[in-house]
Structure 1
Amino acid sequence: MRKLIDAILTPAKQARTLGANQWQRWFLQSEHRFTITGLSRSGKSMLFTSLMTVLKYRSEEQYQCLPLLRYLPMELVDQMWLEPLNDLPMFPVEQHIEDLAAGQWPPATESVAGFKLIVRLRQAHQLKRYLLPYTDVVFEFIDYPGEWLSDLPMLGKTYTQWSDSAWAQQMNAPQQRYAKSWHDCVNAFDFEQPPTPGNVQQLVNAYRRYLQEAKSKGISMLQPGSFLIPGSGFDFTQQGFTPLPSRISSDVASPWTQCFTQHFEAFKHQWLEKLKKDTFRQTDKQIILVDLFEGLNHSRSHLYQLRETLSHLADTFVYGNENWFKRHVLQQQGIAKVAFVATKADLVPVGQRDALLSLLKDVTRGATARFKDGEVQFEHFLVSAIQATDEGSHDNALRYMNDEGRYMEAEFEALPPDLKSMPEDEHYPVLPAAVPPDYLARMLNGKGLDRLLQFLLEK
């Protein structure tokens, strides 16, 4: 019997010797490429930090976290390690842990980072152990500023198309509230003067001030968001542009339209195309983080704009479950699984989370409508990367520590289950929870990550 097994397995062993890398890639590795997509303030940095920490403690310390994650059974985990992802800088998880220890939430992402997380599983079946002693489950993650994400839809537009749409958005709520100074600047500007570098910079600086003000007030659809952070590498001081009223942008002979068209095309080709190719590369699973609290804290119109933003973003990615030949031989693939995740779910009482999940489904309905014919599996999840609150004295209350270190209790009104149920001028304050002293234990007891990973990893 042993000779028979050896006769069957010898060719396979020889193939493994001749092409070890290819063998490992085909049979010893289970690869999962994730794009974690999230607009600014959606909680990407905290989610990455928590995910890396939880998986480390689960595999190395045998900590009983992620109880519903059946795909990576604790008893079969041999080891886990991190590796760089191509030429990307490593995600700064150690610095983020130091920030939490100092009582500070991790800072917003301002540059791209990535890593590979490899979990080595021992084979449970005797025959499999003889041929394949282990399986490496490889996760690839990329973190990037949310401002870059909102710029991707610009790739499909001309300057005039983008300018007209951006200007139209600024004339409606909620941007209209914050665009007055910018519009006053444009109305007073003399477009008969030539677009010299100084004149261009005057307009660009005024537009950036509007973008910064609107961002601070919770506006999600701001373009170009890359102008707000230094990490893009695009020199907006030399090749900046702004949207213009249609009386200018529609005049193809206008020196301003010609100048801004040239700068707009440079922005797309020198920055956005490279960004999409390098940062949003091959991926088969996507996590879309959604911060509902930013909209709830401001107004219903903010949430309507968030729905519009997510709908536009769904058009920038390739979706669809390709066949094996295309995925493994031609290296062509679309995103086959999408998880819509409402972050910071610990900021509402348990009794309000059904409403929060319903609101998430309503806000993302424009994006999910693009997943036709069942080619893409998608689900909605509530996730707490860190359990920063405790149960209150009744079902609609939570306890938390404020910035002054005082343990507080807050009561909650009922959350709207959809946009139409939210009064136009009403808003729901966001709980100002500080970093708890026992942040590590609260990360390990975060909620929802096990269900999220199980959905993404299961066949």
Structure 2
Amino acid sequence: MDKSNSAQRYVNQALQQAKLAGARIADKHINLAVTGLSKSGKTAFITSLMNQLLEVNEDAVLPFFSTKREGRIIGVKRSTQVDLTCSRFAYEDAIAGLSGSIPKWPQSTTGISQIRLVIRYQKKSGLSKWLREDGKLTLDITDYPGEWLLDLPLLDMDFAQWCEYSSKQLMDGKRAALANQILRDIECIDLHGPGDELLLQRTAESYADYLKQCQSAGFQLLVPGRFLLPGELLGAPVLHFFPLSLSQLKEQNVDLSKLVKGSNIALLVKRFEYYKQHVVRPFYEQHFKRFDRQIILVDCLSALNKGVHSYHDLQAALNWIMQSFAYGSSNVLKRLFKPNIDKLVFAASKADHITPDQQVNLVKLLDSMLRDARKQLQFDGVVTESTLIAAIKASTSGKTQVNGEMLPVLQGTTEEGASLTLFPGEVPTSCPHADFWQNQGFEFPKFAAPLLGERHALPHIRMDQVIDFILADKLV
């Protein structure tokens, strides 16, 4: 490699880091992370977020975005992505699909993607107003699977602890009914026998199938997350491990502190540790620790639809996720060397799938699910917000007469193209009693993407409030 080119590359990297540090000192850079478990609406959310900002001075409807209301947004544009090793969020593809004569929902993402916006605005007050006529805020948006976030607590577990935790899950309630095959596969393995890579691969694939069955049944707390969304690791030996039952370890007299090199148990432990150090930890160091603000999308409605086990497992997953965050108020040193998330939004997604009179109930339900996790956040001084959104609104609300009584209803189009009018049901404000799960009449509809026509800004519910919470304090 030419030494002059190499030196220039390092100079350019240093300049880029200096610019980023300068922006952080000036508090004019936000690294926003967006996550949520599968089907929570991450792709739709980021598509709508970008769309609302890019159309902010055109036909975007954002009455609660204070900076827009004050007329201080000069313009917003996309900018060059800094991290060249990360996929670019496919905004253009998403908009193209939504803008067609038969609109299509954006394709779900299966890995990390990023995109950058620059917001130019008129300064509001203070000394900075007189130093420059206008200001710029750089917004980096990172999309990553919530399933990967579930893996971070594994960093604090050894193989024995993970086996103990997983054994309890495998034997619990509805999961146990799905675990018959994987338990049989695991019990057949001679742990002291010579390492059989094909056997471990087949058993790991069986364990991944078990996790996928759990996900289809409505369970949310499923680890390792990469078994569900392997990304570039599909088929790699680093994913060819699985937990063992405590009874099996005892019956085969396994001493995890004295493993025979090359044995099946030694390979399992080695791969578990490798997974932690070379898959989970780099995700934390390269991405997670740099986030300033976080949006977590929560699909409460699907959990209600699938039953009490799904509701409680979603709540457990949220509490599990909260263990991973480095929270606290930002200051200059923290922003330079160890940025902390100082604002957090929990958003119940798909608010267009309930009637407007049930929206307050949905927020209360989300708050009740977050009660335990929120206590630590409040202690750490994190500003949190619970809300509901429809990133891309796919229904309209109205009323219809039934037996002489006017009832609220939703109107939309099914994925098959048929018109649909229904009352989905009442949303409970907290964990429902047993009779709700036995007799609940909640019907979670699946609507087709809305027909935009001549509009460029996507229809939504409460995206303007989320934008204001995330951005407005930096646009002053």
TM-score by length of 2: 0.84
Partner of 1:358: 364
Q: What is the correspondence of 1:260-339 to structure 2 with a 5 Å cutoff?
A: 260-322=268-330, 324-328=331-335, 331-339=337-345
Count of matched residue positions in the alignment of Structure 1 and Structure 2: 436
- Pick aligned residue for 2:44 from 43, 46, 53: 46
Letter in 1 for 2:312: Y
1:319-367 deviation line (CA, Å, top 9, x unaligned): 1114x34235x53332222111001011000111122111111112232
Letter in 2 for 1:169: Q
Partner of 1:16: none
Partner of 2:3: none
Describe the SS at the equivalent of 1:371: helix
Q: 1:90 to 1:26 in 2, by over 3 A?
A: closer
Q: 1:157 to 1:21 in 2, by over 3 A?
A: closer
Partner of 2:425: 413
CA contact (8 A) 2:424 2:443 kept: no
Q: 1:358 to 1:98 in 2, by over 3 A?
A: same
The CA distance in 1 between the partners of 2:215 and 2:332, in whole Å, is 44
The CA distance in 2 between the partners of 1:369 and 1:270, in whole Å, is 32
Letter in 2 for 1:308: A
* Mapped pair 1:89 → 2:82: no
Q: CA deviation at 1:418?
A: 1.0
Q: CA deviation at 1:209?
A: 1.4
1:7-27 deviation line (CA, Å, top 9, x unaligned): xxxxxxxxxxxxx95897378
CA contact (8 A) 2:190 2:264 kept: no
* Mapped pair 1:444 → 2:458: yes
Q: CA deviation at 1:270?
A: 0.9
The CA distance in 1 between the partners of 2:77 and 2:70, in whole Å, is 15
Q: What is the correspondence of 1:119-268 to structure 2 with a 5 Å cutoff?
A: 119-123=119-123, 131-191=131-191, 193-233=193-233, 236-237=236-237, 240-249=240-249, 251=254, 252=256, 253=258, 255-268=263-276
1:57-110 deviation line (CA, Å, top 9, x unaligned): 113x2x251111013457332221112132222210111122333533222211
Q: What is the correspondence of 1:357-436 to structure 2 with a 5 Å cutoff?
A: 357-373=363-379, 375-394=381-400, 395-421=407-433, 423-425=436-438, 428-436=442-450
1:285-311 deviation line (CA, Å, top 9, x unaligned): 211111112211211111111111111
* Mapped pair 1:109 → 2:117: no
The CA distance in 1 between the partners of 2:384 and 2:128, in whole Å, is 32
CA contact (8 A) 1:307 1:365 kept: no
Q: CA deviation at 1:202?
A: 2.0
Q: CA deviation at 1:233?
A: 3.2
1:226-253 deviation line (CA, Å, top 9, x unaligned): 1233424375435511111112346225
Q: CA deviation at 1:317?
A: 1.0
Q: 1:29 to 1:161 in 2, by over 3 A?
A: closer
Unmatched tracts of structure 1, length 5 or more: 1-19
Aligned CA RMSD, in angstroms, stands at 2.7
Partner of 1:12: none
Q: 1:225 to 1:127 in 2, by over 3 A?
A: closer
Q: CA deviation at 1:440?
A: 7.8
Partner of 1:31: 29
CA contact (8 A) 1:220 1:309 kept: yes
The CA distance in 1 between the partners of 2:239 and 2:458, in whole Å, is 46
The CA distance in 1 between the partners of 2:186 and 2:218, in whole Å, is 23
Structure of higher RCO (CA pairs closer than 8 Å, 6+ residues apart): 2
Unmatched tracts of structure 2, length 5 or more: 1-17, 401-406
The CA distance in 2 between the partners of 1:131 and 1:57, in whole Å, is 28
CA contact (8 A) 1:240 1:263 kept: yes
The CA distance in 2 between the partners of 1:440 and 1:266, in whole Å, is 52
- Pick aligned residue for 1:67 from 60, 63, 66: 63
The CA distance in 2 between the partners of 1:288 and 1:433, in whole Å, is 22
CA contact (8 A) 1:301 1:424 kept: no
The CA distance in 1 between the partners of 2:202 and 2:424, in whole Å, is 46
CA contact (8 A) 1:28 1:136 kept: no
Q: 1:117 to 1:185 in 2, by over 3 A?
A: same
Describe the SS at the equivalent of 2:82: coil
Letter in 2 for 1:89: S
Q: CA deviation at 1:448?
A: 1.0
Partner of 2:11: none
The CA distance in 2 between the partners of 1:352 and 1:126, in whole Å, is 42
Q: CA deviation at 1:165?
A: 0.7
TM-score by length of 1: 0.87
Describe the SS at the equivalent of 1:303: helix
Partner of 2:10: none
Q: 1:429 to 1:369 in 2, by over 3 A?
A: same
* Mapped pair 1:344 → 2:341: no
CA contact (8 A) 2:289 2:326 kept: no
